[in-house]
Structure 1
Amino acid sequence: MPHAGCMKSCCKDLWKKPEKHLKVSAIAIIDPETEQSWMIDATPDFPAQQQIVIKENQSELKGIFLTHGHIGHYTGLMHLGREVMGASSIPVFAMPRMKSFLQNNGPWDQLVSLNNIAIRKLKNGEAVKLTSGLSITPFLVPHRDEYTETVGYRIDGPEKSLIYIPDIDKWLKWEKDIRDEVTNVDYALLDGSFYANGEIPNRDMSAIPHPFVTETMDLFNSTSTTDKSKIYFIHLNHTNPALKENSVAFKEVNDRGYRIAYEGQKLKL
């Protein structure tokens, strides 16, 4: 944020304060021992995020894992093409429909034909070993799959594990129980796009379904304090009041035992 075309209170003042701009949601896996890294999603902020990964963390980018075909999650791939980096066979890990989408639609197909990227096909529930102590496993989740399927990822490290679900329609539409999934990991980075219904005036929010932060907190209301503390809300929309640390929403999230992820946060696996 700020969000294109937004002059509401959430964004208005930010246009004059570039130092307070926030990047599109994404994460990276960085192995300090091998000095290798992998990015999860290629966002419109790919240039800055790649710089953080390879320069600030002194690591070599070994691949990009995509979650789905919505603009905030794959369009950063354009920077790998000949008009920018002219990359050479960067591994891009994608599910079957996502792979087909990139191969059969321009300008993405040019990345394939010019060997800027090398698409590696993922399979639901099948782990990909990154190093001797790191693996990543995609799993399907229900979302607005207009062009591609949507996945979250489970990442297993030498000591701890994490699930990453930036987009899902509603938890109860999923065949799995999110409460069980959280119990079985150490960290859960979950879709926190919207705080509550009615957040976007004059929009039917059922047309852009996400679990409201309030819904997720209520769903976990009877779970243990330990499980609640594992949850970090991510992927917050520019309208989400929980983005502001001095807001009632931010305080409520923390008071109820949950967390709001912040830019640059590091979690040890």
Structure 2
Amino acid sequence: MKRLVFLFAFLFAANTWAVTLPKTPYIIALGIAQDGGYPHMGCQKSCCKMAWSNAKLQKHVVSLALVDPVNKKWWLFEATPDIKQQLQHFKLQTNSTYPYLPEGIFITHAHIGHYTGLMEFGREVMSTKALKVYVLPKLKVFLEENGPWSQLVKLNNINIIELTADQPLTIANNTVTAFTVPHRDEFSETAGFKINTPTKKYLFIPDINKWSKWDKNIIAEVKNVDVAMVDATFYSNTELANRAIAEVPHPFVTETTDLFKNEAAEVKRKLYFIHFNHTNPLLWSAQAQQALQAQGFNLVKQDQIFY
């Protein structure tokens, strides 16, 4: 398997990025945190304390950009509460090479960190025209029948396109396939995405209850891609002091690494953890990050480029 190359870009005072961008389709991680972002609202504990006073430590809510330099188009995955900063950040990171708005937005589900950024496209802010929003059927109905999202539909700010689970959608020279995963589906089903470019295959599952609840085998799914970005909301079951962690089920990082501990090194290194809660030490502890990497696994860094 070809070795993956990952770029890390650093913003200089002149607002230019000191990196040569790929000439084939690539993915940028525009955010890596759980729905509440980092630092987390109301948290004054050690996990967030430094980030309140140091903007360099702050992280956006989980989001990806699929960039096609051949067709000069790009697509956004997740419409987060940080979408304003993320779109501006994308513009800077790509040196204003692409349109400010994406060709379309793919959304996994109706939890606040994944779809509420759509409000920025209404008449109060961008007042966009027929911006494509790709969702599974229940989420489509939710957006169409509940305000304020229904107004976006009524005013044609967004054009909702219904996806069919497990059916690939071709966008330029790439394909995106939505599939369902078990999660807290209060308002919609929950999707994951397979993103295939001409050169790489990606798996994106930011939210899922437990791997054992899914009707697919996560190890087999990871083996079939080059990069798998998977739910790392919580590192272990000891993180929430003021509520029952069972109320917000996710696979603990320790559970996922245990599942893969006997797999070959080339399988382990495909795993990239993402969607970190502010309590997860992988978000802020160099020691925890190094320990994970010593086991052969990886974690997504904000602004990381995959191609």
TM class, shorter-length:
over 0.9
Distance 1:264 1:124 in 2: 29
- Taking the TM superposition and a 5 Å limit, the aligned residue runs for 1:1-269 are 1-57=38-94, 58-60=97-99, 61-131=102-172, 133-247=173-287, 249-268=288-307
Residue 54 of structure 1: how far off its partner (Å): 4.0
Distance 1:152 1:235 in 2: 13
Q: Which residue type is aligned with residue 223 of structure 1?
A: E
Residue 245 of structure 1: how far off its partner (Å): 4.4
Q: Which residue type is aligned with residue 215 of structure 1?
A: E
Q: Could you list the runs of 5+ residues in structure 1 that have no partner in the other structure?
A: none
After superposition, the C-alpha distances for 1:223-246 in whole angstroms (9 at most, x for unaligned) are 111010001000000000111242
Out of 95-104 and 6-15, give the one that drifted further: 6-15
Distance 1:15 1:33 in 2: 40
Question: Quick one: percent identity of the two aligned structures?
Answer: 45
After superposition, the C-alpha distances for 1:85-142 in whole angstroms (9 at most, x for unaligned) are 11111000011110001001010001001110000000100111001x2110000000
Out of 8-17 and 105-114, give the one that drifted further: 8-17
Distance 1:252 1:201 in 2: 24
Residue 13 of structure 1: how far off its partner (Å): 2.2
Residue 16 of structure 1: how far off its partner (Å): 1.8
Distance 2:59 2:143 in 1: 27
SS of 2:124 mapped into structure 1: coil
Q: Could you list the runs of 5+ residues in structure 2 that have no partner in the other structure?
A: 1-37
Out of 45-54 and 142-151, give the one that drifted further: 45-54
Distance 1:55 1:254 in 2: 30
CA contact (8 A) 1:53 1:59 kept: no
SS of 1:10 mapped into structure 2: helix
After superposition, the C-alpha distances for 1:35-64 in whole angstroms (9 at most, x for unaligned) are 100000000000111123345322231000
After superposition, the C-alpha distances for 1:178-204 in whole angstroms (9 at most, x for unaligned) are 000000000000000100011111321
The TM-score, its normalising length taken from structure 2, stands at: 0.85
Q: Tell me the number of residue pairs that the alignment of Structure 1 and Structure 2 aligns.
A: 266
CA RMSD in angstroms comes to 1.0
Q: Which residue type is aligned with residue 146 of structure 2?
A: N
